[in-house]
């Protein structure tokens, strides 16, 4: 058991290989995501200019005037939010309808539906203030913005409601999962941790080049939340309860770090999948509970389930309907290409050379990402939670991208 808990056990799995195809795009993508200067120059979604880790709550909460209310929401927003916990929910349309402020609107709707205010003993005004403040501290990046945060929260809500039949989480656990999703990329600079380390960014210095972005997201989220009683959604919690909530949120946010991907997946499989024969002719049995001795509701297992939940929510784009999958694929490619542009400009190591505007193939990047990261994890999660629609979308989307991949001849002529 202690060996399985060791973080070092899974490090060899971080190299490219594992029986997957190793084209240059996939190799660059994997290397860029799992590798552990100039400050990025993102623009705040609203109009709040604060340097990293510096918070001005008064200005941030007051500058937009009257806060959104579901009761007075425009009819188009209300109609769209009627489907807020369906897997096919169109977060991009909500982004458009809300003037690129989807997080507060969707957050108000989902938090109400899952009774987060009751779990936190928190009034609606504080939750509204908090959501508005958090959204104001997401940068206007192509991908890592408040729309992505809303998308991850929406996937989280979908999974939580589906998992209720298993009676795994209590209401406070559900609140923790939703809060973690909302803040998991807050103040993201639109550059990877590797870029921050290579450029000697202040955050890389602060966190010793380890889990730089995820550590910042977690720390910044709590700094923001605790900075003013008007936004402190934890204010009414008992001290011991708050400590456990804080630890769980931090753990979930840190679990989104891709360098630990195979570690988290392997631990999840070890906990919930019956031992399988490796010899030919034997297949893995579905993920399931192992009787009384390994209850799904044990504290240790709940931690593993929460990690897998937020990981799948975070990279759910390839499992969404194709129209959403395509838009997200273009957004992440734009953000990675912008990083490559900046690395070239600054003379830094180019972390993902395949994400060069002159040669980038979005179809190749998507098939590589599905092959290497998505398919195995979502198959495990789908088996565990009984989400067959996830794999159906993934395989359909994979075929779509595969058909659009350039031929080897075309690639050679680039």
Q: Which long-range contacts (CB under 8 A, 24 or more apart) does 1-4 make?
A: 4/267, 4/270
> Binding residue per annotation — 273?
no
Beta-carbon contacts of residue 282 (< 8 Å; ≥ 6 apart): 276
> Binding residue per annotation — 366?
yes
Residue count (the chain): 414
Bridge-partner residues for 203, per DSSP? none
Phi and psi torsions of 66, nearest 5°: -70, 130
Cβ-contact 36, 210 below 8 angstroms: yes
Q: Is 290 helix (H, G, I), strand (E, B) or coil?
A: strand
Question: What CATH number does the domain located at 2-271+292-412 have?
Answer: 1.10.1300.10
Could you count the other beta carbons within 10 Å of the beta carbon of residue 395? 14
State the DSSP code for 287: B
Closest CA to 350 of 50, 68, 32, 89: 32
> Binding residue per annotation — 129?
no
> Binding residue per annotation — 148?
yes
At 293 the pLDDT is 38
Closest CA to 165 of 296, 294, 273: 296
> Binding residue per annotation — 359?
no
> Binding residue per annotation — 340?
no
**Is 144 annotated in the active site?**
yes
| Assigned token pair, 238 | 């008992």
Helices 24-34, 362-369: inter-axial angle, 10-degree rounding: 60
| Assigned token pair, 55 | 């918070």
At 137 the pLDDT is 99
Beta-carbon contacts of residue 21 (< 8 Å; ≥ 6 apart): 368, 371
At 68 the pLDDT is 87
Cβ-contact 59, 48 below 8 angstroms: yes
Could you count the other beta carbons within 10 Å of the beta carbon of residue 259? 18
Domain ranges of the chain: 2-271+292-412
* Positions in the chain whose pLDDT score sits under 70: 1-25, 31-32, 36-66, 274-294, 407-414
At 257 the pLDDT is 98
| Assigned token pair, 67 | 């806060």
Cβ-contact 244, 227 below 8 angstroms: no
> Binding residue per annotation — 145?
yes
> Which of 117, 137, 144, 188 is the catalytic position?
144
Cβ-contact 182, 223 below 8 angstroms: no
Q: What is the pTM of this model?
A: 0.87
Q: Is 232 helix (H, G, I), strand (E, B) or coil?
A: coil
| Assigned token pair, 72 | 């007075």
d(CA 111, CA 125): 12
At 284 the pLDDT is 56
């Amino acid at each position: 058991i202690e060996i399985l808990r060791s973080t070092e056990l899974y490090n060899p799995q971080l190299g490219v290989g594992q029986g997957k195809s190793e084209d240059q795009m996939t190799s660059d993508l994997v290397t860029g995501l799992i590798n552990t200067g100039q400050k990025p120059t993102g623009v705040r979604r609203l109009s709040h200019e604060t340097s990293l880790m510096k918070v001005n709550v008064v200005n941030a909460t007051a500058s937009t005037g009257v806060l959104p209310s579901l009761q007075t929401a425009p009819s188009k927003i209300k109609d769209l939010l009627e489907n807020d916990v369906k897997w096919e929910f169109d977060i991009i349309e909500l982004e458009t309808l809300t003037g690129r402020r989807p997080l507060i609107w969707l957050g108000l709707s989902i938090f109400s539906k899952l009774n987060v205010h009751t779990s936190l003993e928190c009034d609606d005004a504080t939750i509204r203030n908090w959501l508005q403040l958090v959204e104001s501290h997401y940068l206007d990046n192509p991908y890592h913005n408040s729309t992505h945060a809303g998308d991850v929260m929406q996937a989280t809500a979908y999974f939580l409601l589906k998992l209720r039949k298993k009676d795994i989480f209590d209401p406070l656990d559900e609140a923790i999962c939703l809060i973690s999703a909302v803040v998991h990329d807050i103040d993201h600079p639109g550059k990877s941790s590797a870029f921050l380390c290579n450029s000697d960014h202040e955050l890389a210095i602060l966190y010793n080049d380890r889990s730089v972005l995820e550590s910042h997201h977690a720390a910044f989220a709590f700094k923001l939340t605790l900075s003013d009683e008007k936004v402190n959604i934890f204010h009414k919690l008992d001290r011991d309860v708050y400590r456990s909530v804080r630890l769980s949120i931090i753990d979930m946010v840190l679990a989104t770090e891709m360098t630990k991907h195979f570690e988290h997946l392997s631990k999840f499989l070890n906990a919930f999948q019956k031992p399988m024969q490796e010899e030919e002719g034997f297949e893995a049995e579905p993920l399931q509970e192992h009787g009384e001795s390994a209850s799904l509701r044990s504290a240790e297992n709940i931690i593993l389930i929460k990690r897998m939940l937020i990981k799948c929510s975070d990279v759910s784009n390839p499992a969404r309907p194709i129209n959403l999958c395509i838009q997200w694929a273009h957004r992440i490619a734009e953000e990675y290409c912008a990083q490559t542009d900046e690395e070239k400009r600054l003379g830094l190591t180019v972390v993902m050379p395949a994400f060069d505007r002159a040669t980038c193939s979005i179809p190749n990047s998507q098939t590589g990402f599905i092959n290497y990261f998505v398919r195995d994890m979502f198959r495990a999660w789908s088996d565990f939670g009984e989400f067959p629609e996830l794999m159906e979308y993934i395989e359909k989307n994979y075929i779509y991208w595969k058909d659009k991949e350039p031929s080897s001849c075309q690639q050679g002529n680039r």
